[in-house]
Amino acid sequence: MKGKMIKSFIVGLAFVLGASVSSPICASAAWKQDSNGWWNTEGSSYSTGWKQIDGAWYYFASNGYMQTGWVNDNGSWYYLNNSGAMKTGWINDNNSWYFLNASGVMQKGWINDNGAWYYTNENGAMHTGFLTLDNKTYYLNESGSMVTGDITLNGIKYSFNTNGEKIGLTTAESTESTGTTTENDTVKDETTSGGGGGGGSTSSTTIEDSALPSYSDLYGTWKVNSYISDSGIETNLAGLLINSAIGEKVVVSADKISSNGYSAVNPVVEESILTNAEFKSIWGVNLSKIGISDSKVKCLTITRSENSSQTVNVIATKDKKVVAIVEGAPFKLSKVK
């Protein structure tokens, strides 16, 4: 992963990955051009790899030439515009839409953008039309947004619950779409702003489920104890960023999350209850791989209100075990006070 990464998003019960991460390397613009392209001089040499110049990120090949278009760096895909600057957010390439997070990494699977859910296939292309995952059927409209409620397509009425899952019996369905499927079938149940979150699933809630923590149970000071290195979950975070998070303290309140001089005001909190199978469908491993033996957990998805691409997932159990997952990196947290 790119050694860049401005201040990491510090949100969510933890840490959002608190700690200010490694500072980006600042380079003064000293551009040169020849018949083969552009490069950036550094004294008597030239830039290679990722460089931040005048606030934008650029990628230079080993021969020093600036790259454009798609770039694969250590298994992650990035997109550079015609001027070489790294893009974030939604981009359209060859009539397909892709979503790049705040670090520029192309995303796959379910994406929540400004409260709407989208799905991108294994190649990163946004999906439209019917989508079947783990025997559950969803419908993504022509803009890619997941549909809930009733819709009529070609004279046939379909109903979708609040999680976007099709309910009831219908006749033939169109399977046309712009992408393929992967395993991920969990959509959030409840959204709150400023941490007022409370209560888990909106359907089939049991007494056992009600014992699971809500966002308000996380108020207080937390410490990032350790990184679960053997979880088997793939992460985009570099080792330096992971190590810098250990030992950080995060203060969580109703309207703010803060750590090491940085704060996220009025974070958006979405709460859902996950079974072990649902957790595995998202992260590819069982709950036991992050040290949890419970059959159900509370998942709090905490998003920075001013940047919907900066998100942390917090997994909590009824006995108050807490694990924060940041870009696939799971961290154990403990309550300080």
Q: Which of 140-144, 195-199, 312-316 has the lowest mean pLDDT?
A: 195-199
Select the more confidently predicted residue: 160 or 4: 160
Average predicted confidence (pLDDT) for the chain: 77
The dihedral sign for the CA sequence 235, 238, 241, 244 = positive
Torsion of CA 86, 88, 92, 96, to 10 degrees: 110
**Residue of higher predicted confidence among 24 and 139:** 139
**pLDDT cut 90: percent of the chain above it:** 39
pLDDT(202) > 60:
no
Q: Per-residue pLDDT averaged across 124-138, rounded?
A: 92
User: Considering only CA atoms, which of 198, 243, 210, 209 is closest in space to residue 224?
Assistant: 243
Report the range of poorest mean pLDDT among 28-32, 84-88, 92-96: 28-32
Classify the C-alpha dihedral 138-144-147-152 as positive or negative. Answer: negative
Do 77 and 124 meet the contact criterion of CB atoms below 8 Å apart?
A: yes
Return the SS3 of 89. strand
Q: How confident is the model at residue 236 (pLDDT cuts 50, 70, 90)?
A: low
For residue 331, pLDDT over 80 is answered with yes
Q: Is the pLDDT of residue 210 over 70?
A: no
Q: What is the pTM of this model?
A: 0.44
Asked if residue 286 lies in contact with residue 280, where contact means CB atoms within 8 angstroms, the answer is yes
CB atoms within 10 A of CB 291: 14
Q: Are 123 and 150 in contact (CB under 8 A)?
A: no
Mean pLDDT of the region 205-225: 75
Average pLDDT over residues 257-278: 79
Tally of CB atoms within 10 A around 242: 18
Structure tokens, 274: 């996950």
Helices marked H in 59-126: none
Within 10 A of 10 (CB to CB), how many other CB atoms are there?
Answer: 29
Of the pLDDT bands very low, low, confident and very high (cuts 50, 70, 90), residue 86 is: very high
Give the whole-angstrom CA distance, residue 124 versus residue 92: 11
Long-range own/partner contacts, residues 139-146 (CB < 8 A, 24 or more apart): 139/164, 139/166, 140/177, 144/97, 144/118, 144/119, 145/116, 145/117, 145/118, 146/116, 146/117, 146/118, 146/119, 146/187
Q: Cα 14 from chain centroid? A: 15
Ranges 26-35, 97-106, 327-336, most confident:
97-106
pLDDT band at 70 (very low <50, low <70, confident <90, very high): very high
pLDDT greater than 80 at residue 83: yes
Contact between 302 and 268 under an 8 Å Cβ cutoff? The reply is: yes
**274 pLDDT more than 90:** no
